[in-house]
Structure 1
Amino acid sequence: MIREQNPGQRYNISVLFVDDNETIRQLYRRILEKHVTHLYIAENGSHGLELYQKHKPDLVITDMVMPVMNGLEMVKEIKKFAPDAKFVVMSAYSEKDSFIESIHLGVDGYLMKPVEAKKLLSLIDEFAGITLMKWELEAKEKKRQEAEDNMKKSLAEKDVLLREVHHRVKNNMQIISSILSMQSRNIDDPRLKEILQESQNRIHSMALIHENLYNHKSLANIMFSTYIKSLTGNIARTYSNQQANIQFDYQIDDAYLPMDIAIPCGLIINELISNSFKYAFVNTSSGVISIHFKNIHDNEFKLIVADNGVGIPPEINILKTKSLGMKILHRLVQQIDGEIASDFSNGTKFIIQFKSTNK
């Protein structure tokens, strides 16, 4: 269906018209220059190729049979560097082979000469609509890409800022730990020294979380298996002068935990391992501390910290003990909405089960 044309309508597209006949070139110049923004006229395919390379028009209208370089040869050459270029070919000959070849080349229209002005303008109107739609889509895509780039830039800036925050928090905690260490050197009371050392270990367990977040790609979650080994190594060094040969038994699944779960879990491990070092291996030269961390179902985890030491006497109720470490332990389990169980039949064993939703 051919739409009604406004005789004075001008289309916001550029057109390259190629024909070897001077009379036809002048005729279509008078018709087309009133209706398109830019019009370029070429006398053969070679000239048309040159003008296309220079001006990149939106539409090429070309005769098929011309000297020097015919229309289909020009189309082939242009398609090599501009595969999306739009072409309409004209011919006074109804040649089947040429028609099939033009289809294979991917031309967008085929007209038989002589071409009526009304039909030609209708064709240009159609291509102008397609071109306009293409420009609108390109403009939208450009805006989308700019918005995406700005978002990526903003996220990258926030990433750097958040890493710097974790780095500074870790450094500040290390400063606090160093101050406690200096203070303990001026104290002779062994019990006070022990309290300060326990505080240092708790601070270090939290600082390790921030160090892991600073050094790894994710700023929301940490690889908890790596963190556990770093944490236990630090605690073992703290008590290295007090114990002869304490081994660790690790059975740890690889899993990421968010910071609000990882910090309480790290403190839980710190309390339980510290207690094992202090109380489980009295008058013995060796022992084993087991740390098992299992992803038992989706984001449901089980943490087991156990030792093969002397255990806890049955007359001691850990739920009612006044020990600061046990009070901290139960508060931390509540903080992660977990459940705690214990078994003192063979040494000391604590089982903590909790859920986590990775962010």
Structure 2
Amino acid sequence: MQRSIIALYLVFFLFAANYTAAAAEPMLSVSGEKLRISQLEELYEKADNFTTGSPDSLRYIAELIKKEGLRLNNARALVRGTRYQAQALWRLGNHKEAMKLAIVALKDAEKGKLTGELPDIYAVIGNLHKEKANYSMALAAVDKGMAIARKNRDTASVIYMARLEAMFTQGLGADKEDTALIHKSLKMHLEGLKLAESSARFEKQRIGYYNNIAQACVKRGELDRARFYVTKGIELAKKYDQLLSLTYSYTWLSQVYLGEGDKQNSIYYLKEALRITRQLKNPFREMEVNRYLYRTLNEMNSYKDALQAYTRYIEIRDSLRVLENVRQIGEMQEQYEAGKKDQQISTLAEINKVKTRETIWALAGLSVFLVLSVFMLFQYRTISRTNQELASNNAKINEQAEKLKILMKELHHRVKNNLQTVSSLLSMQSSRLTDDDARNSMRAGQQRIEAMSLIHKSLYGQDAVNLVNMKEYMSNLIDSVMQSFGVEPGDLDLRLNVSVMEIDIDVAMPTGLIVNEWVTNYFKYAYNSTTDPRLSVILEARLEEGRSLLLRIIDNGPGMSLDKWKRPSGSFGMKLVQVLAKQLDAKCSVEVSGGTTFIMEIPAVSIAGNR
């Protein structure tokens, strides 16, 4: 009997234990989910702090947020993680990839009806447009973000959007040299600051306002007022450990000291900004600070140090590929004083005074460049032949060939830098010319240099030192010509079809120069003649006809005169096309029907591969 009672108790105990565990399991699940959501909130807070700090740290936190979002199937976490990734890439200078991620975040947020995330996403998109000086698109993005923030009654987002709107208005005014817009932007900043100062909750957001107002006051010459606001910005940036914002505060404080004649403190704060930027590992901001350091040193007549700062600015800009996103490089601000410069700078100053010598020096510079290019090509061919001979020998010679390959890449890198230096000098000089013909000749020469520079840039970035990736090269070349004429991608129906992957530099160089001349000719004489401009560039291999290469350039302009093509006595560009075509043993023809079609067939081209 006792055994039966004990057995009955055991059965009841096991049933009760199982029932209790089953009932507690949902409670534990809910508790665990709350814990993970709490951890997500902590990650959000860390990411928000890193948006003005280290971009690498922000990318790491963003990845953690997205992983946790996937695990929890949390749409908000996935959207916010993608937006943080876009912000990190923006700070690192990779604007193209940043915009792609921002658009992904925008679509996901709209699909999931996550309206609270939209203002910050539109802010990222607006800032990326601002980096390309496309202020109209930047303001349009901010307007959308502001409308949503107001509808959500999100005061913090309204304050942020108001600051961006004022900042972009200031940039638009500076770009258009519109004093009324610049004054309007200062008024907008002051109105936004009042809202930010209405509550202690928004104290951190005042930092950006203080810095932007200080910048505007510096440019207006109101140094005491600029010092007042920048001091407030420094105080709050240190309080909230906003190191990136602190670099902007130090930059404007240095300009205040410069305006007051205190050169020592001016340089000190710029170098402090540079130190913090390097600590944050933010190359894009380091590039900006070096640009200000160069301008300040140049204004102080410290030409040697100014050149070092400018060189560092150029190096960082090249490494970030800023040339693909921005327009032409900046111009010099002050003329160099006679007697304090070397002979080259004195000669450039003299060129500004004597009109005839401008043209002479321009032609001399182009001649030196052409001689240098021929010399470099001769060196390349010599090294290439040597490399082929060494390849047939023993392992030691193969090791020497590998070293030679590295040397060639360095050579292409140096040629690219030299060509860029020549292009920069021509750009600076053309801005000083008063004669339109001389200026146009300068700019045309600069674009031809840019076409050759892109070849060496391509060769430096790949393993094959004598083969040019034609698809990438053609795309970069046409983008460069469009930027030189101020044409945005949306303003032109461009159809680029390159079915040849790689060809030898001896063919790629003259082919690129011919495309440069013809596309430049299109923008000069045909682009503005139609309301729906269209340009097609087609490069394909004709394997069935002995591996020939066929180039076609087609536009819908009014059509060029065939006499100009047949007798190009007054056009250097058309003469250059015919000379380069003869060098390639190519057959050229021009057809005029509903536009202009240029056709060139190059025989017996060695093609590395097709798509």
TM-score w.r.t. length of structure 2:
0.33
Q: Which is further off, 206-215 or 248-257? A: 248-257
Q: The residue matched to 1:352 in structure 2 has which SS?
A: strand
Q: Does 1:351 align with 2:599?
A: yes
1:124-176 deviation per Cα after TM superposition (whole angstroms, max 9, x unaligned): xxxxxxxxxxxxxxxxxxxxxxx743133111110111111111111111111
Q: Does 1:293 align with 2:539?
A: yes
Structure 1 CA distance, aligned partners of 2:498 and 2:487?
27
Q: Which residue is 1:159 aligned to?
A: 405
1:9-59 deviation per Cα after TM superposition (whole angstroms, max 9, x unaligned): xxxxxxxxxxxxxxxxxxxxxxxxxxxxxxxxxxxxxxxxxxxxxxxxxxx
Q: The residue matched to 1:304 in structure 2 has which SS?
A: strand
8 Å CA contact 1:243–1:285 kept in 2: the answer is: no
Q: Does 1:327 align with 2:575?
A: yes
Q: Which residue is 1:136 aligned to?
A: none
* TM superposition shift of 1:226: 1.2
1:59-85 deviation per Cα after TM superposition (whole angstroms, max 9, x unaligned): xxxxxxxxxxxxxxxxxxxxxxxxxxx
Q: Which residue is 2:515 aligned to?
A: 269
8 Å CA contact 1:255–1:295 kept in 2: the answer is: no
Choose the corresponding residue for 2:496, options 245, 250, 258: 250
The code of the aligned residue for 2:594 comes to N
Higher RCO by CA contacts (8 Å cutoff, separation 6 or greater)? 1
Structure 2 CA distance, aligned partners of 1:285 and 1:358?
38
The code of the aligned residue for 1:335 comes to Q
Q: Which residue is 1:217 aligned to?
A: 463
Q: Which residue is 1:341 aligned to?
A: 589
Superposition pairs of residues 1-359 of structure 1, within 5 angstroms: 148-240=394-486, 245-297=491-543, 299-313=547-561, 316-322=563-569, 323-355=571-603, 356-357=605-606
Over 3 Å counting, the alpha-carbon distance change for 1:326 and 1:320 in structure 2 is same
Structure 1 CA distance, aligned partners of 2:589 and 2:597?
8
Which structure dedicates a bigger proportion of its chain to strand? 1
* TM superposition shift of 1:223: 1.3
Q: Where in structure 1 are there 5+ consecutive unaligned residues?
A: 1-146
* TM superposition shift of 1:283: 4.0
Q: The residue matched to 1:289 in structure 2 has which SS?
A: strand
Which structure dedicates a bigger proportion of its chain to helix? 2
Q: Which residue is 1:109 aligned to?
A: none
Structure of higher CA gyration radius: 1
Over 3 Å counting, the alpha-carbon distance change for 1:244 and 1:252 in structure 2 is closer
Aligned residues: 212
Q: The residue matched to 1:332 in structure 2 has which SS?
A: helix
Q: The residue matched to 2:599 in structure 1 has which SS?
A: strand
* TM superposition shift of 1:252: 1.4
Structure 1 CA distance, aligned partners of 2:446 and 2:477?
12
Q: The residue matched to 2:568 in structure 1 has which SS?
A: coil
Over 3 Å counting, the alpha-carbon distance change for 1:353 and 1:241 in structure 2 is closer
Structure 1 CA distance, aligned partners of 2:479 and 2:455?
14
Over 3 Å counting, the alpha-carbon distance change for 1:254 and 1:242 in structure 2 is closer
* TM superposition shift of 1:258: 0.7
8 Å CA contact 2:500–2:607 kept in 1: the answer is: no
8 Å CA contact 2:529–2:557 kept in 1: the answer is: no
Q: The residue matched to 2:528 in structure 1 has which SS?
A: coil
Structure 2 CA distance, aligned partners of 1:242 and 1:319?
33
Structure 2 CA distance, aligned partners of 1:193 and 1:244?
28
Query: Once superposed, what is the RMSD of the aligned Cα atoms?
Result: 2.0
Over 3 Å counting, the alpha-carbon distance change for 1:241 and 1:215 in structure 2 is closer
Q: Where in structure 2 are there 5+ consecutive unaligned residues?
A: 1-392
The code of the aligned residue for 1:329 comes to V
Q: Which residue is 1:17 aligned to?
A: none
Q: The residue matched to 2:450 in structure 1 has which SS?
A: helix
The code of the aligned residue for 1:330 comes to Q
The code of the aligned residue for 1:308 comes to N
Q: Which residue is 2:35 aligned to?
A: none
1:177-198 deviation per Cα after TM superposition (whole angstroms, max 9, x unaligned): 1110010111122222211111
Structure 2 CA distance, aligned partners of 1:242 and 1:187?
26
TM-score w.r.t. length of structure 1:
0.56
**Identity of paired residues, percent?**
29
Q: The residue matched to 2:533 in structure 1 has which SS?
A: strand
Q: The residue matched to 2:400 in structure 1 has which SS?
A: helix
8 Å CA contact 1:222–1:257 kept in 2: the answer is: yes
Over 3 Å counting, the alpha-carbon distance change for 1:286 and 1:189 in structure 2 is farther
Q: Which residue is 2:115 aligned to?
A: none
